[in-house]
Chain A
Amino acid sequence: MIEFILRRTGAAVITLFLASIAVFLGVRALPGDPATVLAGESPTPQVVAAIRKQFGLDQPLPVQYLHYMGQALQGNLGSSTQDKAPVTQVLGERLPVTLELTFLAILVGVLVGVLAGIVSAVRRGTALDYAANGFGLFGLSVPHFWLGLLGIVVFSVHWHILPASGFVGLADDPVGNLERMVMPVLVLGLGLAAVVMRQTRSSLLSQLGADYVRTARSKGLSRGQQIRHALRNSLTTVTTVVGLQLAGLISGAVITEQIFVIPGFGKLIVDGVSSRNYPVIQGAVLVTVAGYVVINLLVDVAYAYLDPRLRMAGGSQ
């Protein structure tokens, strides 16, 4: 197990290293010279050159990269070009918002998806199964940003029961916060619920048909006990699917934040691109990618813990 964890961690570190180079080069490829942006309106060439020197922009790219990463590892991601605030501070303000949104969406998605998947597999061929399948197909096919728009029309414009947009901190006003989070969370969670439901259903059905369940049945175990056995084995694949869905969820969060005007990471990145706030984009993308890699590492380790076959076979992976 320890060997497996070390090997997966090694792979994750390499992924992060390569990803950080990609982000660094990507941000350098953005149009516009950051030094010119920093120098403000109508800068003289001398000022631009001075800023270039001050921020090390006159150094070769590899040196700039090493400098940036050295600082980043010490918790310094530079400062925002807009208000000169440290990027880490900007990210620190926005991160809890996106974390709350995605965490609640995952919670809703997994709870609804797993429950619907179990019901649909156990009651296969019944009306409940058809309903759950219909829900799965619906959630998979409907663009969630469109549902968000319809939600605003129905619940905010017509019925006035939920606010259309905006955000208040969870600590400042818990009720107001949750009120504003209901629609974004449901919109974002629905797609995940659909994927999780379909995965739970298919893996539970295949487990219920497996030999060990037949043996359990012949030993006289109740239906509930059989399902419990099969469920444990099917949930391992569901865990992986949730991990893989995370990147999609982050993309979904970007759009959801735009529709409901939520000041999270996604909005920060989109706004950062239009205002050419490169240090902020770089920091935000780096943190997002790192979060994705680390969570998937944790998912893999959890998976290996739940399914010993995987860590044994890990060498050939």
Chain B
Amino acid sequence: MNETAVDETGLAAGQAAGAEAAALGTGWRRSLHRLLGRRMAVIGAVMVVVFLGVALIGPYVAGSSTRLGLTDILAGPSGAHWLGTDDLGRDVVARICNGARVSLLAGVVSSALAMAVGVPVGLAAGYFRGWTDSVLMRINDVVLSFPYLIFAVGMAAILGPSLHNVIIALAVAEVPSVIRVVRGETLVLRQQDFVQAAVADGTRDLAIMWRSILPNMTNTLIVKATVAVPAGILGEAALSFLGLGVQPPQASWGVMLTSAQQFLAQDPLLAVFPGVAIALTTLGFNLLGDGLRDVLDPREL
């Protein structure tokens, strides 16, 4: 009698797991299909892919971004230099490609760091509630109350200006909003029957968070990432523009704009290209993010 009961539940659990996996598979396929039906999202995805291509392959193809050209200073677009050269005769295409790599690094690493810190903290705050939640949220408020730029200025002053420090500052700036979103999702999921059942079952808290709650907010986290990456890209450009990030002669889109600022009257094009690069990249991520948000339909964001 007992044995059959165990068998039955085992079988039922197995079937449920199988059905769940199948549903997950078709769910993903359906989401992808719906995403492909949205023209703007597809355009955004293409722009993101182009950006990734430029960032990953561009620097090898376009040549050195720091090689000085003493004869071609502030030259306009030509066959040799498609987008012209800057005030030190450096090829603008090569510098844009290098800048893309810096932007990609800043956007992805700062978002990943923010997720790595924000997801566990948000999970803990939303799952345990009570004192844990209050303490974590107060700390979150404190971080949130520092404008990221002031924080970044402080970091640059203490540790010196560098891409590393910019990425850390951007990650710190992003963490509160990740915590907010994850906590909100966790608070809702915590009330769901399957989580309550796991709690009643005596499953350990960590296991519940890891196996029952986290997988159910994948959509939200994907959408959050498509917002966080372009925010990181914009942030890096702004901080490098202020001289807090990547240092010349290394190229970043922000650094290029800083040097272009001195030649606005002679060569305004120099200020146009890096800005267009930043705008198109963030636009691509935003279009893709809007599409994903509609398709995956997370509760928050």
Contacts and interface: CB of A to CB of B under 8 A. Distances in A.
Do A and B bind?
yes
Interface string A258-301: 11000000100110010000000000010011001100100000
A153 B268 contact: yes
Contacts of A255: 149, 238, 241-242
A85 interface: no
B144 to A, nearest CB: 7
Given A255-B238, A269-B153, A270-B242, A288 B142 contact: no
Interface stretch (B23-31, B62-70, B204-212, B259-267): B259-267
A269 B16 CA distance: 59
B230 interface: yes
B187 to A, nearest CB: 9
A278 B106 CA distance: 29
Interface of B is mostly: helix
Given A26-B154, A30-B158, A273-B157, A145 B257 contact: yes
A254 interface: yes
B157 A149 contact: no
A11 B141 contact: yes
Nearest to A153: B268
Contact of B275 (A31, A149, A250, A273): A149
B287 A150 contact: no
Contacts of B138: 11, 14-15, 18
Nearest to B293: A202
B96 interface: no
B157 A145 contact: no
A143 B264 CA distance: 17
A153 B242 contact: no
A55 interface: no
B263 to A, nearest CB: 10
A15 B157 CA distance: 24
A153 B271 contact: yes
Chain A CB within 10 Å, residue with most, of B149, B157, B158: B157
Contacts, number: 123
A152 B264 contact: yes
A273 B156 contact: yes
Interface string B264-296: 110010011011001110110011001000000
B63 to A, nearest CB: 25
**Size class of the contact patch on chain A:** 35 or more
Contact of B157 (A31, A143, A153, A259): A31
A293 B271 CA distance: 36
B147 interface: yes
B264 A31 contact: no
29 contacts: A19-B145, A26-B154, A31-B157, A31-B158, A137-B287, A141-B280, A142-B275, A142-B282, A143-B234, A145-B257, A146-B257, A149-B264, A150-B272, A150-B275, A153-B264, A153-B265, A247-B145, A247-B146, A247-B148, A250-B150, A251-B148, A255-B149, A255-B241, A259-B261, A288-B147, A289-B145, A289-B146, A292-B147, A293-B141
Interface of B: 138-139, 141-142, 144-150, 153-154, 156-158, 230, 234, 237-238, 241-242, 257, 260-261, 264-265, 268, 271-272, 274-275, 278-280, 282-283, 286-287, 290
